[in-house]
Chains A and B, each alone.
Chain A
Amino acid sequence: MTEMSFPGSRPLNLSRRGFLSGTAGLVLATALPLRPARAQEAAAEAGPPVPLFLAIRPDGTAVLQSPFIEGGQGIYTALTQIVGEELDLDPAQFEVVPAPPGAPYDVMGGFRFTGGSSSVRSSYELMRRLGASGRAMLIEAAAARLGVPASELTTKPGLVVHAASGRETGYGDLSEAAMELAVPADVALRDPADFRWIRAGLKRLDIRGKSTGQAAYAIDVEVEGMLSAAVQHAPRLGLGPASVTNLAEIEAMRGVHSVHLLDGAVAVVADRFWQARRAVEAAEVEWQETGAEWPLPADFSSDGYRASLLAQDGPGLEVEAEGDAGAALAGAGTVIEAVYGAPFLAHGQLEPPSATARFNADGTLDLWLPNQAPEMFLAAAAETAGIDPSQVTIHSQMLGGFFGRHFLYRTANPFPQAIQLAKATGRPVKLVWTREEEFLRDAVRPLGTARFRGAVMADGSLALSAEVLGEGPTGRWYNAPAGEDGSAHEGLTGKPYAIPNRRIGHVYADNPAVIGYWRSVGHSMHDFFYEGFLDELAEAAGRDPFEMRQALVAGSPRHVTLLSEVGKLSGGWQRGPYQAEDGSTRARGVAMASPFGSEVATIAEISVDGGEIRVHRVWVAIDPGSIVNPAIIEAQVQSAVALGLSQTLVEEYIYEDGAPAARNFDSYDILRPDQMPEVHVAIVESGAPMGGIGEPGLPGVGPAVANAAAALTGRRFRTLPLSGHDLSAG
Chain B
Amino acid sequence: MTEHPLHPRLPFDMKPRAALAAEDALLQQFIFTATHEKDRGRVRVCQRAFGERYDALRGLAGAIKQHTLDHLDSYLERFIDRAEAAGARVHFAADAEQANAIGARIAEAHGCRLCVKSKSMVTEETGLVPVLERLGVEVVETDLGEFIIQLDHDAPSHIVTPMIHKDRRSVARAFVRELGAEYTEDPERLTRIAREHMRTKYRRADLGISGANFLVAETGSIVLCTNEGNADFSVSGPPVHVVFAGIEKVVPALRHLAVFLKLLARSATAQEQTVYTTIITGPRRPADHDGPGEVHVVLVDNGRTEILRAPTRELLRCIRCGACLNACPVYRKVGGGHAYGAVYSGPIGAVITPLFKGIENYPDLPRASSLCGACFEACPVKIDLPRQLVWLRRESVEQKVTRWRERLMYRLWAATLERPWAFGLARFLQRWLLRWRARSRDSGSQGQRESPLDPRWMTALPGPGRGWTECRDLLAPPSGTFRKWWRSRGRGAESKGGGP
Q: Do A and B come from one complex?
A: no
| B residues at A contact (CB < 8 Å) | none
